[in-house]
């Protein structure tokens, strides 16, 4: 693997935007001079020391570890971690649940981790899902990365796999993390927009950071608007190491594969769901666990050695890259089951503290510069948020195995050393714990050498090849959604130059994508492409694993049918439909003109789960409309009822209708049905319809 370094800087230099305001220097108290951030002043530390490189952390060699002496990085990250209280700076809106992890395949040849030595071993687990950009009060269906953080309470201590639902990230070096988050958060002068990336600051930053283009393809895809926490993948993002009992190491990447398959919503649904139920993901997870439909993921690993790493065309330490599953298959070694909701949201979900540094013997870090920075940042953040160094005493954060140390005092100390000894070494008879040279954690003995320089390895400079691979691996429907998302987001940018700079990256990914976005933005032509730092590998193999639609579940299990029903319908048909959904492990809710429910033609009453204006079709994976002749006349006068069917139709959902309900569609302007609309009149029709719903959407209906 090439170790040739390069000096990383943003590739595109720009003049100030037209709306930049020139400001004079402000003289603060004591006569010190403070220059505004935007006036072109020399960048310094808070101590006034001029900064020579604000793009790269200091490393021992181009691929070496980040050095603790890098005061600029530490100060920058330290201040970023502490700039908001009391909610998390990122991942503020989260939802957690408890469960367990079970090893399904022992791998002692790869790792000495106790948990993975024997099939069937179980440990408690806590999982927190989250959005990244919004605050605690924002909505669930923002277009955003989703955090997927897992805390495993093992017999050797807590092991935190702190990842996302996307396997790559925007940046390569943790030095840029504060800048990334500042750019996507609300603008500091106006405090909006909230929980959105569709604004000038974010896209200005992205346009100047080509390394982000792979992640942009993911965040503009349907991966960023998942249907549910239960139907999304999780990834450890970084490359870690497995180390076995003999000290032999291999590289490993972690994957969480949902047993119920992948599923997302479309953008118009996301917008409407946020209005109808901003807690949609929270409610979904709560309801699934409470009903006994426990979400489950398989833990898979991609394991590879130095020979593969050296031959791989990209650097395995680069967090903006992935390893295609076709190159290194994912090996399933365990399962994660969430079977319990929290007793108190604040005590557990709000106070849980994940740290990437929390690993157990048999797991080790690599020199991934983003991971190295996270190891510092996460611990520092938790100390700030939770009031001091004793956040590990909070029950949700405390290990469930025995622990002993000499750490003492501080805010909220619940455990202090007993007896006289609070130091080590000591000569007292009851002198407290001692290091265990046999079972204690040992870092992998990796040879490290190199000049101290702010650089990145040469292979980090390819920013477009895997972005191209991701886009080409999508179905036509998914590619259209990516183009539409880019057009929507960039349409919110007020500065034309920013739009053009972003679009100028797209020809390096796909000419068709570039043209579609340029046309959607009304640009006269596609801007000239930015010059890549490295030659683009244009012929990377397409990867089926990168597409949601190519990995459909072919089952309605765990999903929800919304049944818009009126008085006077055939109760037997309604019951048959509900039974058919239940038989495949799905859920059904009755949506009615009033919350009082409906009465069938034979006088049987059914309670309503939702009133029609509070239960729009966007909340359901598929819908059915069962109406009597009198009932459909009432529905035709209700705007929410007409929206129910037009939205379901435009969102490509499978739809079941009874004969009388056809009139509602006609009144709403849906005059022609396709093969995704199924008329039902008897029990067998209901079974066939639910089977069709296993495909999730009737995509042939979309343009």
Tally of helices (H runs) and strands (E runs) in the chain: 17, 24
- Strand order, beta sheet including 622-626: 610-611, 587-592, 560-565, 622-626, 655-657, 677-679
Cβ 265 vs Cβ 326: under 8 Å: no
Neighbours of 48 (CB within 10 A): 9
224 phi/psi in degrees, rounded to 5: -85, -5
Beta bridge partners of 298: 257, 335
Sign of the torsion formed by the C-alpha atoms of 43, 44, 50 and 54: negative
The pair of three-digit structure tokens given for residue 168, joined into one six-digit string: 């790559």
- Distance, in Å, from the CA atom of 253 to the CA atom of 238, rounded to the nearest integer, reads 7
Listed in order, strand segments (DSSP E) in 535-606 are 560-565, 587-592, 598-599, 605-606
Burial of 489 (0-12, 13-18, 19+ CB in 10 A): buried
Hey, is 560 helix, strand or coil? strand
Phi, psi (rounded to 5 degrees) for 654 = -75, 140
SS3 at position 671: coil
68: its two tokens: 């603790």
Q: Is 437 exposed, middle or buried (0-12, 13-18, 19+ CB in 10 A)?
A: exposed
- Give the orientation angle of helix 496-503 with respect to helix 476-491, to 10 degrees: 160
Strands 655-657 and 677-679: parallel
- Strand, helix or coil for residue 622: strand
Active-site positions read 91, 164
Q: Kindly compute the dihedral angle of the four CA atoms of residues 139, 141, 143, 145, in this order, to the nearest 10 degrees.
A: 90
Residue 26 is inside which H or E element, if any? strand 26-27
What's the chain's length in residues? 703
Between the CA of residue 305 and those of 239, 250, 549, what are the distances in Å? 12, 5, 31
Peptide bond preceding 126: is omega within 30 degrees of 0, i.e. cis? no
Q: Name 107's Cβ contacts closer than 8 Å, sequence gap at least 6.
A: 116, 242, 301, 333
Residue ranges of E strands in 259-379: 296-304, 331-340, 363-364
- Run of H or E residues at 453: strand 452-453
Contacts (Cβ under 8 Å, ≥6 apart) of 613: 638, 640
CA distance 378 to 354: 7
Residue whose C-alpha is closest to residue 459's, from 211, 135, 129, 113: 211
Pairing of strands 122-131, 146-154: antiparallel
3-state secondary structure at position 465: helix
Spatial contact of 594 and 639, defined as CB atoms under 8 Å apart? no
- The C-alpha atoms of residue 670 and residue 681 are separated, in whole angstroms, by 20
């Amino acid at each position: 693997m090439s170790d040739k370094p390069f000096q990383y800087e943003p590739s595109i230099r720009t003049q100030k935007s037209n709306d930049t305001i020139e400001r004079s220097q402000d003289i603060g108290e004591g006569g010190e001079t403070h220059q505004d951030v935007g006036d072109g002043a020399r960048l310094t530390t808070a101590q006034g020391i001029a900064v020579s490189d604000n793009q790269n952390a200091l490393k021992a060699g181009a691929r070496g570890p980040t050095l603790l002496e890098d005061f600029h990085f530490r100060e920058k990250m330290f201040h970023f971690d502490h700039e908001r209280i009391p909610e998390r700076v990122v991942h503020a809106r989260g939802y957690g649940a408890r469960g367990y992890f079970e090893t399904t395949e022992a791998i002692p040849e790869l790792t000495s981790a106790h948990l993975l030595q024997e099939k069937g071993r179980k440990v408690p687990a806590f999982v927190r899902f989250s959005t990244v950009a919004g605050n605690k009060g924002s909505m669930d269906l923002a277009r955003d990365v989703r955090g997927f953080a897992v805390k495993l309470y093992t017999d050797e201590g807590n092991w935190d796999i702190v990842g996302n639902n996307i396997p790559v990230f925007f940046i390569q070096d943790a030095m840029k993390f504060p800048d990334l988050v500042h750019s996507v958060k609300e603008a500091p002068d106006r405090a909006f927009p909230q929980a959105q990336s569709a604004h000038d600051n974010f896209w200005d930053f992205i346009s100047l950071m080509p390394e982000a283009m792979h992640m942009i393809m993911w965040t503009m895809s349907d991966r960023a608007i998942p249907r549910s926490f239960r139907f999304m993948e999780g990834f450890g993002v970084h490359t870690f190491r497995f180390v076995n009992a003999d000290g032999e190491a291999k590289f490993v990447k972690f994957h969480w594969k949902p047993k119920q398959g992948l599923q997302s919503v479309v953008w118009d649904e996301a917008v409407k769901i946020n209005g109808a139920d901003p807690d949609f993901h929270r409610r979904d997870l709560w309801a699934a666990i409470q009903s006994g439909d426990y979400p489950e993921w398989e833990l898979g690993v991609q394991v590879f050695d130095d020979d593969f790493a050296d031959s791989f065309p990209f650097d395995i330490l680069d967090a903006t890259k992935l390893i295609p599953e076709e190159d290194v298959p994912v090996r399933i070694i365990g399962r994660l089951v969430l079977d319990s909701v929290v007793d108190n949201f604040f005590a557990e979900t709000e106070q849980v503290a994940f740290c990437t540094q929390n690993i157990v013997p048999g797991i080790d870090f690599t020199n991934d510069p983003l991971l190295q920075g996270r190891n510092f940042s996460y611990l520092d953040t938790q100390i700030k948020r939770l009031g001091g160094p004793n956040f590990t005493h909070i029950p949700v954060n405390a290990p469930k195995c025995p622990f002993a140390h000499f750490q003492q005092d501080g805010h909220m100390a619940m455990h202090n050393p007993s007896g006289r000894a609070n130091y080590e070494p000591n000569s007292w008879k009851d002198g407290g714990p001692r290091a265990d040279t046999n079972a204690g954690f040992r870092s992998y003995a990796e040879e490290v050498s190199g000049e101290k320089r702010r650089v990145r390895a040469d292979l980090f400079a390819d920013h477009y090849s895997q972005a191209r691979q991701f886009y080409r691996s999508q179905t036509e429907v998914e590619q259209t959604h990516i183009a539409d998302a880019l057009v929507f987001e960039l349409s919110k940018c007020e500065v034309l130059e920013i739009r053009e700079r972003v679009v100028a990256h797209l020809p390096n990914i796909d000419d068709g994508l570039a043209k579609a976005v340029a046309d959607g933005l009304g640009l006269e032509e596609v801007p000239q492409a930015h010059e890549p730092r490295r030659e683009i590998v244009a012929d990377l193999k397409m990867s089926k694993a990168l597409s949601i639609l190519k990995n459909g579940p072919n089952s309605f299990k765990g999903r929800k049918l919304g049944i818009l029903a009126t008085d006077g319908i055939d109760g037997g048909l309604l019951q048959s439909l509900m039974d058919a959904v239940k038989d495949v492990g799905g859920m059904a809710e009755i949506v009615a003109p009033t919350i009082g429910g409906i009465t069938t033609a034979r006088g049987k009453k059914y309670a309503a789960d939702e009133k029609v204006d509070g239960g729009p079709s966007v909340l359901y994976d598929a819908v059915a409309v069962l109406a009597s002749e009198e009932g459909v006349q009432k529905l035709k006068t209700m705007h929410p009822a007409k929206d129910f069917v037009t939205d379901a139709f435009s969102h490509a959902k499978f739809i079941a209708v009874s004969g009388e309900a056809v009139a509602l569609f006609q009144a709403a302007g849906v005059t022609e049905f396709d093969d995704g609309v199924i008329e039902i009149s008897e029990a067998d029709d209901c079974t066939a319809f639910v089977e069709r719903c296993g495909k999730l959407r009737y995509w042939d209906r979309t343009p």
